[in-house]
Structure formats: structure tokens, C-alpha cells
């Protein structure tokens, strides 16, 4: 969405991108970005919570207890209980698994797909480029949430459908970026040298061009995840994501809507979790952009 992030990050003249020392240097620079580090730590914390959910959650996330419904947040129920007496904090803890599952799967789909389409378009140029970029532009001009809604409605509601629907509409920004990056890299002398040595196109694309595009693709992916989390929550809110009784955060907000004027915590708590997670990805993405692109002025 953001146009400024579409700028290619040209590899620094002295250090080649992708080398192990380059990654270490980048990590060291990231440590000087407090907000970015905060985002990274929060995401790390989420991974930990997701992994240790059975030990962290004080209650079973699915067990209903109608006698204990709509309890205010206190020390027994940190985030209160919902309309059927389930502990909201425990549900939030288990919900991190769903959120991370969405983030990881969408990343694994749109990262490689976007990278491949972008690099091939940029490397081949000509007609291949024209066709691939036309397709990218078309998908980019679609309203993604509405299209995801239509897909989810047709394929049947569920977590898998939501992931497919989100992926289908979010690869183009990665592809555009990878292409822009490839156009810069293609001109580099080391590519010409490798070609003179007789490297095949496949080898050139896979070993010489693609690695140079990875840093900016990672930045873009991180920033995209902030939006992906919001879209996923929106689909869940509409009942098109993970199905009840799964503790999906968007669906939890939706069930809290019925009681929102009497029991604000049922809907407010999951929203805070979504906000914090999305914010963490935005902060990390912003910081990574500054770190991986020395020219980027803030």
C-alpha cells in the first residue's frame, strides 16, 4: 500500500547483500533502533507464547462455564470471561497459534511466489515482463478485502480458505518490488562477469540475482504482515476465518459485539492483541527498512 516502500533498496557498494557478515552487521544496526527492537521482541514473545500455550494458559480455552459468564477482568481471570464463561486470557494465548499460523503460511506462499514472478519479469524483460507485470497490476488494482470475502464465501468459510484468499491478493507488492530490484541488479558488473563464465540463466537468476532481492523483500513482507493480520481479523470478524470454537481473535471480537455495551472486555481484549501484533510488525518493518537501506532518510 505504501508507495515509499516500493523503492528498490540497491545493494550497498562495499558489502554484498546476503553474505553472513552482512546479515550480522544489519542485526547490529537493528539493535540501535529501539522501536524496531521492541517490535522484534514482541513477535518473539508471541512465538514463545504460541509454543508454550498449554503451559501458559491458566484455563482450557474451550471449556464453557455458564455460571461464570461475563466476569470482569480480575486476578482470577486476567482478561475476564466471555458470554459462555470461557477465560478470555487463555483464549488469547491459544489464539496466538492461529495468528502465527496465518502469518507464517501467508509469508511462505507470497514471499517465494512474489520473488519468483518479480525476478523472472525483471530478468527476462520484453514480453515476459509485460505479461507478468500486467497480471500483477491487475491484481494490485483489486480491492483485496472484498475479493477475499467473495473467495471465502465461495470456497466455504475456514482458516485455510482465509489464508488462500489473503495470499491470492497480497503477492503483487512483493513481485513489483523484486522486479524493480532485479532491474538494478541486472546491470551489475558481477552479473556480466558470471555470464561470461558461462553461467546459465537459471543459475544467474537463482544464485546471483535473487539473493540480492531478499533484503528488500523481507522488509516488504514484514510490513505486509501488519496488513495481513488486520485482513485476517476482518475475515474472522465476519465469520469467514477460523470457525468457532477456535479462539481466533477477530471472531472473538465478533462474539463480544452482542454484549459490548455491558461487558466491554469481551471485545476490547482481543482487539488489543490484534493492535499490538500488527503494530509490532509495522515497527519492525520500519526499522528493518532503515537498517537494510542506508540511503533511506527518515
Q: Quick one: which of 66, 196, 202, 261 contacts other proteins (CB under 8 A)?
A: 261
> Does 185 interact with other proteins (rule: CB under 8 A)?
no
Minimum CB distance to other proteins smaller for 70 or for 214: 70
Tell me if 257 contacts other proteins by CB under 8 A. Answer: yes
Q: Which is nearer to other proteins, 205 or 289 (CB)?
A: 289
226 lines the binding site for other proteins (CB under 8 A) = yes
Smallest gap from Cβ 34 to other proteins, in A, equals 13
The phi and psi torsions of 6 (rounded to 5 degrees) equal -80, -10
Exposed / middle / buried, residue 77 (Cβ in 10 Å: 0-12, 13-18, 19+): buried
Q: Which residues of 153-186 are buried (b: 16+ CB within 10 A; e: fewer)?
A: eeeebebebbbbbbbbbbbbbbbbbbbbbbbebb
Count of positions on this chain that bind other proteins (CB under 8 A): 49
The position carrying cell 544496526 is 29
Is residue 258 within the footprint of other proteins (CB under 8 A)? no
| 294 forms part of the interface with other proteins (CB under 8 A) | no
Stretch that binds other proteins, among 51-59, 95-103, 183-191, 281-289 (CB under 8 A): 281-289
* Torsion sign across C-alpha atoms 209, 212, 213, 214: positive
Task: Quote the cell numbers at residue 112.
Answer: 517465494
Residue of 48, 53, 87, 49 lying closest to 68 (CA atoms): 87
Residue 143 φ/ψ, nearest 5 degrees: -75, 110
List the grid coordinates of 152: 471465502
Instruction: Check binding of 16 to other proteins (CB under 8 A).
Output: no
37 binds other proteins (CB under 8 A): no
278 binds other proteins per the rule CB under 8 A: yes
Indicate the residue among 50 and 226 with the shorter CB distance to other proteins.
Answer: 226
Pinpoint the alpha helices (H) of the chain: 20-30, 34-51, 53-56, 88-124, 126-140, 144-155, 159-170, 172-186, 189-196, 201-203, 210-237, 249-256, 264-292
By CB under 8 A, which span of 58-66, 93-101, 138-146, 199-207 interacts with other proteins?
138-146
Q: How far apart are the first and last CA of the chain?
A: 18
What is the footprint of other proteins within residues 232-251 (CB under 8 A)? 233-234, 237-240, 250
User: According to the binding rule CB under 8 A, does residue 149 interact with other proteins?
Assistant: yes
Residue 141 contacts other proteins per CB under 8 A: yes
CA torsion, ordered 90, 93, 96, 97, to nearest 10 deg: -80
260 binds other proteins (CB under 8 A): yes
Q: Hunting for cell 509454543 — which residue is that?
A: 51
For residue 142, state whether it binds other proteins (rule: CB under 8 A): yes
Torsion of CA 76, 45, 101, 258, to 10 degrees: 30
> If binding is defined by CB under 8 A, does position 138 make contact with other proteins?
yes
Residue 171 in the binding site for other proteins (CB under 8 A): no
Regarding 279 and contact with other proteins (CB under 8 A), the answer is: yes
Contact residue for other proteins among 143, 160, 244, 294 (CB under 8 A)? 143
Residues that bind other proteins (CB under 8 A): 1-4, 134, 137-138, 141-147, 149-151, 153-156, 226-227, 230, 233-234, 237-240, 250, 253, 256-257, 260-261, 264, 267-268, 270-271, 274-275, 278-279, 282-283, 286, 297
Amino acid at each position: 500500500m505504501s508507495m515509499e516502500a516500493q523503492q528498490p533498496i540497491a545493494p550497498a557498494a562495499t558489502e554484498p547483500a546476503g553474505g553472513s557478515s552482512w546479515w550480522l552487521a544489519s542485526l547490529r544496526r537493528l539493535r540501535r533502533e529501539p522501536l524496531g527492537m521492541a517490535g522484534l521482541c514482541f513477535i518473539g514473545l508471541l512465538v514463545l507464547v504460541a509454543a508454550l500455550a498449554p503451559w501458559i494458559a491458566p484455563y482450557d480455552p474451550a471449556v464453557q462455564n455458564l455460571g461464570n459468564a461475563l466476569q470482569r477482568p480480575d486476578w482470577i481471570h486476567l482478561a475476564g470471561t466471555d458470554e459462555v464463561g470461557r477465560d478470555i486470557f487463555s483464549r488469547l494465548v491459544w489464539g496466538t497459534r492461529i495468528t502465527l499460523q496465518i502469518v507464517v503460511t501467508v509469508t511462505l506462499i507470497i514471499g517465494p511466489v512474489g520473488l519468483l514472478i518479480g525476478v523472472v519479469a525483471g530478468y527476462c524483460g520484453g514480453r515476459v515482463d509485460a505479461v507478468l507485470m500486467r497480471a500483477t497490476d491487475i491484481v494490485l488494482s483489486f480491492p483485496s478485502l472484498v475479493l477475499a470475502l467473495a473467495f471465502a464465501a465461495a470456497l466455504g468459510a475456514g482458516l485455510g480458505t482465509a489464508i488462500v484468499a489473503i495470499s491470492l491478493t497480497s503477492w503483487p507488492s512483493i513481485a513489483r518490488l523484486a522486479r524493480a530490484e532485479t532491474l538494478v541488479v541486472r546491470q551489475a558488473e558481477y552479473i556480466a562477469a558470471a555470464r561470461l563464465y558461462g553461467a546459465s540463466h537459471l543459475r544467474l537468476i537463482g544464485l546471483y540475482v535473487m539473493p540480492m532481492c531478499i533484503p528488500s523483500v523481507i522488509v516488504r513482507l514484514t510490513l505486509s504482515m501488519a496488513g495481513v493480520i488486520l485482513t485476517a481479523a476482518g475475515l474472522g470478524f465476519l465469520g469467514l476465518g477460523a470457525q468457532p470454537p477456535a479462539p481466533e481473535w477477530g471472531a472473538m471480537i465478533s462474539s463480544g459485539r452482542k454484549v459490548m455495551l455491558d461487558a466491554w472486555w469481551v471485545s476490547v481484549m482481543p482487539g488489543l492483541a490484534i493492535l499490538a501484533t500488527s503494530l509490532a510488525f509495522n515497527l519492525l518493518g520500519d526499522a528493518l527498512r532503515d537498517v537494510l537501506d542506508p540511503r533511506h532518510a527518515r
